[in-house]
Amino acid sequence: MTYFQFIHEVEVKVKEEVRDDVTVYIHSAVKNNGTKRHGLTIAQKGINIFPTIYLEEYYQQFQGGSSVEHIAGEILRLYKEVRFRRSFEGEFIKDYQNVRRKIIYRLVNREANKELLKEVPYEEYLDLAVIFYVLIEVNSHGMASLMIRDEHLEMWNVTKSEIARKAKENTPRLLPYEFGTMYALIEELTGEDGGSFEDVMYVMSNRLRSYGAAAILYEDRLEGIGDYLKENYYVLPSSVHEVIIVPESAAPGWEALNALVAEVNETQIEAEDILSDHAYYYDRGKGKLLL
């Protein structure tokens, strides 16, 4: 069964199990880096925010032997956990005073998102782009957010500079940073001893670990890491969700790190999650992150 046949089979099974006031349909979306994804949107009558559950991972389960019926059941269980139980008022989003304390930023690859950037306010950062969102809700499954587009600035009668200023204030407050050793992260995620990683590699993200690479923009964060390490260091963009910090004294060199980042992106990281194909360098003397 092809992936698109699988999607339609799952759609049919999920439709059989939901109530009459719930609509199920296939939704296609262009995500980060121009990647296209397909999922099931499950919409309940009377509620104007509804989740789309993407099916690539479920297709892998199907290829591994799971039945369509079992996967449809898993999707419905997930939907019950993540669905919104109330509408998000359309009038609410129209009033800038309601959203100004919820504006945050994300960091994405500028070249890979050049079509998107024609339609949204953004700021350049090195070879990357800072884009802006309204953070609607945060729960144990992640965040619900609304991308800020040019038409929102017109509706709110605000400038890009105002949006950027609010995002600079709000993002560290709403999505506090996390910084720790690679050893500790491996141990937390796997429950196994991460002792093969010496404490010379560090990971920085936000507490949700969702688009946490933007933590490099938090005021004084990069400087603080330099003070902690007491030396210059490299920043490896392992994905849009986190970066890896490597002290210069422990690094194999710029070219080797660039090759490592490119190889990991090609073999280990989903296209949607790639931030950049090369390492960055933090110079304490200049107080800057450099290409």
Instruction: Please tell me the predicted confidence (pLDDT) of residue 110.
Output: 97
114 φ, ψ (degrees, to nearest 5)? -65, -30
Instruction: Please tell me the predicted confidence (pLDDT) of residue 44.
Output: 84
Cα end-to-end span (Å), the chain: 45
pLDDT tens track for 5-22: 999 999 999 999 998 889
Residues in the chain: 291
Q: Residue 116's closest CA among 239, 272, 242, 270? A: 272
pLDDT tens track for 135-192: 987 766 567 788 999 999 999 999 999 999 999 999 999 999 999 998 776 666 666 6
Contact 40, 27 (CB under 8 A): yes
Instruction: Please tell me the predicted confidence (pLDDT) of residue 54.
Output: 87
Instruction: Please tell me the predicted confidence (pLDDT) of residue 91.
Output: 67
CB atoms within 10 A of CB 79: 19
Instruction: Please tell me the predicted confidence (pLDDT) of residue 29.
Output: 85
Domain 3-82 has CATH 3.40.1350: no
State how far the Cα of 234 lies from the Cα of 128, in Å rounded to an integer.
Answer: 16
Contact 82, 140 (CB under 8 A): no
Instruction: Please tell me the predicted confidence (pLDDT) of residue 65.
Output: 94
CB atoms within 10 A of CB 4: 11
280 Cβ contact partners less than 8 Å away, ≥ 6 residues apart: 126, 234, 235, 236, 237, 289, 290, 291
Q: Residue 126's closest CA among 142, 112, 108? A: 108
Which residues in 23-53 are b (16+ Cβ under 10 Å) and which e?
ebeeeeeeebbeeebbbbebbbeeeebbbbb
Instruction: Please tell me the predicted confidence (pLDDT) of residue 84.
Output: 64
CB atoms within 10 A of CB 118: 9
State how far the Cα of 107 lies from the Cα of 124, in Å rounded to an integer.
Answer: 10
Chain centre distance of CA 151: 23
Instruction: Please tell me the predicted confidence (pLDDT) of residue 184.
Output: 74
Instruction: Please tell me the predicted confidence (pLDDT) of residue 141.
Output: 59
CB atoms within 10 A of CB 70: 14
State how far the Cα of 268 lies from the Cα of 238, in Å rounded to an integer.
Answer: 10
182 φ, ψ (degrees, to nearest 5)? -60, -40
Instruction: Please tell me the predicted confidence (pLDDT) of residue 11.
Output: 95
State how far the Cα of 227 lies from the Cα of 235, in Å rounded to an integer.
Answer: 15
Beta strands in 71-207 (DSSP E): 103-109, 122-125, 128-139, 142-147, 177-181, 202-206
Per-domain boundaries in the chain: 3-82, 90-174, 177-290
Instruction: Please tell me the predicted confidence (pLDDT) of residue 192.
Output: 63
pTM of the model as a whole = 0.83
Contact 10, 78 (CB under 8 A): no
Point out the residues of the chain with pLDDT beneath 70. 48, 84-91, 139-142, 185-199
